[in-house]
Amino acid sequence: MSDATTTQSYAPGTHPDMPPPLLSSGVIYWVRKNLLSSWTNAVLTIVAFWGLWVILPPFYEWAFADAVFTAVDRSECQSLGDGACWAFIDERFKIFMYGFYPEPERWRVVLAFLLLFVALGPLLFDNFPYRGKAMLFSMAYPFIAAWLLLGGFGLTPVGTDEFAGMLLNVIIGVTGIAFSLPIGIVLALGRASQLPAVRIICITFIEFIRGVPLITLLFLASTMLSYFLPPGTSFDLLMRVLIMVTLFASGYMAEVIRGGLQAIPRGQYEAADSLGLKYWLSMRLVVLPQALKISIPGIVNTFIGLFKDTTLVIIIGLLDMLGMGRASLADANWAGLATEVYISIAIFFFLFCFAMSRYSLYLEKKLETGHQ
Amino acid sequence: MASIDTPAPSAHSDSGQRNILARLWYNKEARGVFLQILTVAILFSFIAYITSNAIANLELLGKTFSFDFLNVPANYDIGQTLIEYDSKSTHLRAGIVGMLNTLLIAVCGIITATALGFILGVLRLSPNWLVSKMVYCFIEYMRNVPVLLHILLLHASVVHLLPKPREAQEWANIADSIFFTNRGVFSPMPLPQDGFGWVTGAFVAAVAGVFIFSRWAKARQDATGQHLPVFWISLAALFGLPLLAYLLTGAPLDWDTPALKGFNFRGGFVIRPEFLALWLALSLYTSAFIAEIVRAGIMAIGRGQWEASLAVGISRGRTLNLVIIPQAMRVIVPPLTSQFLNLTKNSSLAIAIGYMDVVATVGGITLMQTGKEMETMMIVIGFYLTVSLLISSVMNWYNNRIKIVER
């Protein structure tokens, strides 16, 4: 200040802003505020740095510096470096993704996957162009995808026993969610119904599904489901698993939608009643559009959970991505690469699920501002 | 919800010719009864249909429906048992061993997951940027990768990274008594001798004393406002009294130390790699979810509570313990319950790494050996439903205890 007054004078209000004191801005301020604000904080910082020091450099060496990215088998890997052997993942990547799907037909898988996003667009974004018409495509999508994947009607048929790898995870996850949505809505409405018999049946079903592990339901599908069908009928394992996963997901879906239904103020029901709408009309035109909208984050979360749970099918012998990974460990040329395989599959699931959870968070924030 | 009634049929009597069925259909109560009868009828005929199918199928295969197989010797071994069991024991006993193993992993997992989850949840909100971000990365990694993958990865790590027993003898041990090997973690097992009863007695007395003391201290604090260091005194009593009794009675405890014999350690107390991997994976996975729940719970408590507490001179740590967490618990407990249920259900993934829980024993080997799909699956499902019901009723009881008393 003294400098300014001696060398130059300013009219009142024209003095340029002084830089803030060193301790209240910049890097030093940030470090003091965020890392060293108190004794406990400083200790925590030191412990955290120590933890990073213990974990990160060895991991970097293992995963990158000493890692081998191209090799023909394990022994070559070992001779080139003593880090991770990513060459194996590189070699198996396609089979992890497509499973045993015949190579010349794989464009169908890619196309079905891309169309999935086209079908999801109108469901997820309100401002999607031509939303009404696009919605029709979304409705038809499961059948189009089934035709693309299974073949027939002009395409080479592919058996469901050739479905494996990531393809299987996506099929089970998407089918489970798509078909559990209508069942979940009916169950949630049934649970909120004023008819005691309907309510009790729905509650029993939902609580049963939510009370047992998915594994036992999958065991049911693989061992017992055929007992309950007329003698002589049988259908393939994937179909049975899809049915069970759908029932499983609808139990959870019902609870998510129930949350949405409960968040709708009573006035909305009463308004619909006073307009003279019958039960189904009032639900379809007034209650459900609002309830489903606020349930979307919950539905996305259910999907993330279900998508992770699709790995459980390896227990009953289906080879999803994790199953393909585990089976590939038996390869004698590439022995002892469990960590590499599991970590790359973990990264894959992480990217998928993390992206979806960010989306659901974004939606929650958007809906929150809309309601207040 | 309720649909509106069309005007009562009597009002239309002038227009006349409605038949009785139509009139009943337009009456809300009558329609309700009719719909319910219809639903129940459809349900029962469906059940009757699948039951008749099941009976026909069982007859075709020459199978009967009975639980007699439970009394037949099981003829398989189980690695880890809490009660006495060998391959000559019955399927029933094998099933009980499996159920106890499930309960063991569930209880251990719930305890560690809750403790770790609360710590992570609080650290996530720490003013320390680095710690908060590290915890965030950990939570997101744990939550977004399938639990089965965690289990397999940790199992592979335990088996591959930990040394063989012979090498563990050399470097992977603590004071030559606890050994970390790829066959499990071996530690000395205490063997109580004569006179150990005094130590147990001292512990029971300490527990009773602490209970009475803490109630007295609370009453005193309510009356006078003076606060005693209840936690530290209790801790000292709980450990001190048994230790005193132990030393006074002349250390009546022998240790069965594990020793390397051949390729593996013998004796001592062993935590098998399957249990270790499953326990770690379930605890870490669930703790990430619990941490998010705790964080949401703490954030749901208004800033005013923090500021008021700090303003009257209570330290940050005590504010958290005495003001924030008790209020946050009301938000935390309901979702926490479902995490406990999830952990218990996820413990069924034990079968992937060969930990013998109820699914692996009854639903796995017993099913394969006896071919009794119906009966074994009924037992497994019944078991899980019972456990789920038990956990939710305990947590509901706890939730009712801590919820705001409205006057």
Q: CB–CB of A354 and B140 under 8 A?
A: yes
Query: Residue A150 above 80 pLDDT?
Result: yes
As a whole number, mean pLDDT of residues B48-62 equals 87
As a whole number, mean pLDDT of residues B361-388 equals 89
What local confidence, expressed as pLDDT, does residue B16 receive? 52
Cβ-Cβ contacts under 8 Å, B37 against chain A: 197
Query: Residue B13 above 80 pLDDT?
Result: no
Query: Residue A352 above 80 pLDDT?
Result: yes
d(CA A150, CA A144): 10
Cβ-Cβ contacts under 8 Å, A269 against chain B: 1-2
Output b/e per residue, A83-122; b: 16+ Cβ within 10 A.
Answer: bbbbbbbebbeebbbbbbbeeebeebbeebbeebeebebb
**What pairing do the DSSP bridges indicate for beta strands B253-256 and B189-192?**
antiparallel
Q: Which domains does chain A have, with CATH numbers?
A: 1-51 (no CATH), 87-101+158-371 (1.10.3720.10)
d(CA B374, CA B280): 33
Query: Residue B71 above 80 pLDDT?
Result: yes
- Backbone torsions φ then ψ of B21, nearest 5 degrees: -65, -45
Q: Which residue has the higher pLDDT, A21 or A6?
A: A21
Smallest Cα distance from A130 to chain B, Å: 33
Query: Residue A1 above 50 pLDDT?
Result: no
Q: CB–CB of A350 and B54 under 8 A?
A: no
Locate the chain B residue with the closest alpha carbon to A284: B1
B 113-142 residues inside an 8 A Cβ radius of A: 123, 126-131, 134, 140-141
DSSP one-letter code for A129: T
Cβ-Cβ contacts under 8 Å, B141 against chain A: 350
Q: CB–CB of B359 and A326 under 8 A?
A: no
Q: CB–CB of B144 and A37 under 8 A?
A: no
Q: What is the pLDDT of residues B267-282, one digit of tens each?
A: 777 888 899 999 999 9
CB A356 within 8 A of CB A303: yes
What are the angstrom distances between the C-alpha of A357 and each of A3, A263, A306, A353? 56, 22, 13, 6
Selecting from B36, B60, B148 the residue whose C-beta is nearest the C-beta of A198 gives: B36
Locate the chain A residue with the closest alpha carbon to B386: A211
Locate the chain B residue with the closest alpha carbon to A222: B373
What local confidence, expressed as pLDDT, does residue B11 receive? 47
Q: CB–CB of A346 and B349 under 8 A?
A: no
Cβ-Cβ contacts under 8 Å, A229 against chain B: 53, 57
Q: Which residue has the higher pLDDT, A66 or B18?
A: A66
Selecting from B56, B147, B149 the residue whose C-beta is nearest the C-beta of A231 gives: B56
Cβ-Cβ contacts under 8 Å, A330 against chain B: none
Q: Decide if B48 touches A, using CB distance below 8 A.
A: no
As a whole number, mean pLDDT of residues B171-177 equals 72
Smallest Cα distance from A282 to chain B, Å: 8
Query: Residue A301 above 50 pLDDT?
Result: yes
Selecting from A34, A322, A339 the residue whose C-beta is nearest the C-beta of B160 gives: A339
Q: CB–CB of A231 and B53 under 8 A?
A: yes
CB B388 within 8 A of CB A245: no
Q: A241-246: long-range contacts (C-beta < 8 A, 24 or more apart)?
A: A241/A172, A241/A313, A241/A316, A241/A318, A242/A171, A242/A172, A242/A175, A242/A176, A244/A217, A244/A218, A244/A220, A245/A172, A245/A175, A245/A176, A245/A214, A245/A218, A245/A306, A245/A309, A245/A310, A246/A175, A246/A176, A246/A179, A246/A180, A246/A183
Q: Which residue has the higher pLDDT, A22 or A135?
A: A135
What local confidence, expressed as pLDDT, does residue A369 receive? 55
- List helix spans (H) across A61-195: 74-80, 87-98, 106-124, 131-150, 166-191
As a whole number, mean pLDDT of residues B276-302 equals 93
Return the biggest CA–CA distance within chain A: 105
Cβ-Cβ contacts under 8 Å, B32 against chain A: 194-195
Query: Residue B284 above 50 pLDDT?
Result: yes
Locate the chain B residue with the closest alpha carbon to A352: B144
As a whole number, mean pLDDT of residues A41-70 equals 90
Q: For an interface test with B, give the residue of A228, A261, A282 to mutate (most B CBs within 10 A).
A: A228
Smallest Cα distance from B387 to chain A, Å: 9
Ranking A39-53, A156-170, A356-370, B33-47 by mean pLDDT, the lowest is A356-370
Cβ-Cβ contacts under 8 Å, B40 against chain A: 197, 201
Query: Residue B322 above 70 pLDDT?
Result: yes
Cβ-Cβ contacts under 8 Å, B345 against chain A: 212-214
DSSP one-letter code for B362: I
- List helix spans (H) across A192-287: 196-211, 214-219, 237-263, 266-274, 279-282
What local confidence, expressed as pLDDT, does residue A272 receive? 92
Average pLDDT, chain B: 85
Query: Residue B2 above 80 pLDDT?
Result: no
Ramachandran region, residue B251 (left: φ > 0; alpha: ψ -120 to 50; beta: rest): left
Cβ-Cβ contacts under 8 Å, A357 against chain B: 140, 143-144
Q: CB–CB of A273 and B3 under 8 A?
A: yes
Smallest Cα distance from A107 to chain B, Å: 28
Cβ-Cβ contacts under 8 Å, A213 against chain B: 345-346, 348, 359, 384
Q: Decide if B177 touches A, using CB distance below 8 A.
A: no
Cβ-Cβ contacts under 8 Å, B363 against chain A: 216, 219
Smallest Cα distance from B137 to chain A, Å: 11
Query: Residue A4 above 50 pLDDT?
Result: no
Locate the chain B residue with the closest alpha carbon to A224: B373
Q: Ranked by mean pLDDT, which of A186-190, A260-264, B170-174 comes out on top?
A: A186-190
Cβ-Cβ contacts under 8 Å, A247 against chain B: none
As a whole number, mean pLDDT of residues B346-369 equals 89
Selecting from B36, B351, B373 the residue whose C-beta is nearest the C-beta of A223 gives: B373
As a whole number, mean pLDDT of residues A50-79 equals 88
Cβ-Cβ contacts under 8 Å, A35 against chain B: 128-130
Query: Residue B41 above 90 pLDDT?
Result: yes
Q: What is the pLDDT of residues B211-270, one digit of tens each?
A: 998 899 888 888 887 877 888 888 888 888 888 888 888 777 777 777 777 777 777 778
Q: What share of chain A is helix, strand, coil (3-state, %, to 5)?
A: 75, 0, 20
Locate the chain B residue with the closest alpha carbon to A317: B352
Average pLDDT, chain A: 87
Q: Which residue has the higher pLDDT, A23 or A209?
A: A209
What local confidence, expressed as pLDDT, does residue B18 receive? 64
Cα dihedral A62, A65, A70, A76 in deg (nearest 10): -60
B 349-388 residues inside an 8 A Cβ radius of A: 349, 351-352, 359, 363, 367, 373-374, 377, 380-381, 384-385, 388
As a whole number, mean pLDDT of residues B94-112 equals 93
Cβ-Cβ contacts under 8 Å, B156 against chain A: 338-339, 342
Query: Residue A120 above 70 pLDDT?
Result: yes
Instruction: Determine the 3-state secondary structure of A155 from DSSP.
Output: strand
B 288-317 residues inside an 8 A Cβ radius of A: none
Q: A262-266: long-range contacts (C-beta < 8 A, 24 or more apart)?
A: A262/A192, A263/A291, A263/A294, A264/A290, A264/A291
Q: Which domains does chain B have, with CATH numbers?
A: 9-61 (no CATH), 91-163+273-402 (1.10.3720.10)
Q: CB–CB of B143 and A37 under 8 A?
A: no
Q: What percent of chain A has pLDDT over 90?
A: 35
What local confidence, expressed as pLDDT, does residue A225 receive? 83
Selecting from A195, A219, A282 the residue whose C-beta is nearest the C-beta of B36 gives: A195
Q: For an interface test with B, give the residue of A45, A223, A264, A337 to mutate (most B CBs within 10 A).
A: A223
B406 confidence band (pLDDT: 50, 70, 90): low
Query: Residue B318 above 70 pLDDT?
Result: yes
The H or E element spanning position B266 is: strand B264-266
As a whole number, mean pLDDT of residues A219-239 equals 83
Query: Residue B32 above 50 pLDDT?
Result: yes
